Amino acid sequence: MFIGEYQNSIDTKGRIIVPSKFRDQLGSKFILTKGLDNCLYIYPMEEWNKFQDKLVNLPVANKDARAFVRYFFSSAVECEVDKQGRLTIPQNLREHAKIDKELVTIGVLSKIEIWSKQEWDNYNEGTNLGPDEIAEKMAEFGI
């Protein structure tokens, strides 16, 4: 399980250092793709395969199902960290997540999210649920 928040930056070649606690869980190869809310997702191969197994059964005749599959798979790249613990983020994914210099890497259960620091700050200031709303949603979800 991935947990925690780490502040980081991206170098001029598009490389970031993956937090060591995350590297240990990722394995030698993993998938980087577009995420929701203007961030990127990193899936360990095992989790990506579970996700892929669900998507392969979506009805190809359904327009929304096709769009969903395209969204995640068209930008997906198989990655590995280099000897210095770095990951190179392709330009199209940096643009999607609006990553310029500073970024935040967070653990979210079975995947990792990479956010531009500005987008993460905006999310936490504007769209994030407050404590009372979280409590209500927990009750709704039976937690």
Burial level of 45, CB count in 10 A (0-12/13-18/19+)?
A: middle
Is residue 114 within 8 Å of residue 29, measured between CB atoms? no
Q: Largest Cα–Cα distance in the chain?
A: 46
Which CATH number belongs to the domain containing residue 42 in this structure?
3.40.1550.20
CB-based contacts of 90: which residues, under 8 Å, 6+ apart?
14, 77
pLDDT tens track for 105-117: 999 999 999 999 9
Q: Does residue 43 lie in a domain region?
A: yes
Q: Does residue 138 lie in a domain region?
A: no
Average pLDDT over residues 17-42: 94
What distance in Å separates the CA atoms of residue 87 and residue 55, rounded to the nearest whole number?
26
Alpha helices by DSSP H, listed for the chain, are: 20-26, 45-55, 63-73, 91-96, 117-122, 131-140
Q: Does residue 46 lie in a domain region?
A: yes
Total number of domains in the chain: 1
Q: Does residue 109 lie in a domain region?
A: yes
What distance in Å separates the CA atoms of residue 11 and residue 109, rounded to the nearest whole number?
27
Q: Does residue 126 lie in a domain region?
A: no
* pLDDT at res. 30: 97
* pLDDT at res. 32: 98
Q: Does residue 86 lie in a domain region?
A: yes
Q: Which domain holds residue 76?
A: 5-117
pLDDT tens track for 81-127: 999 999 999 999 999 999 999 999 999 999 999 999 999 999 888 76
Average pLDDT over residues 41-67: 93
Average pLDDT over residues 3-21: 96
* pLDDT at res. 67: 93
Closest among 40, 102, 103, 112 to 77, alpha carbons compared: 40
Q: Does residue 141 lie in a domain region?
A: no
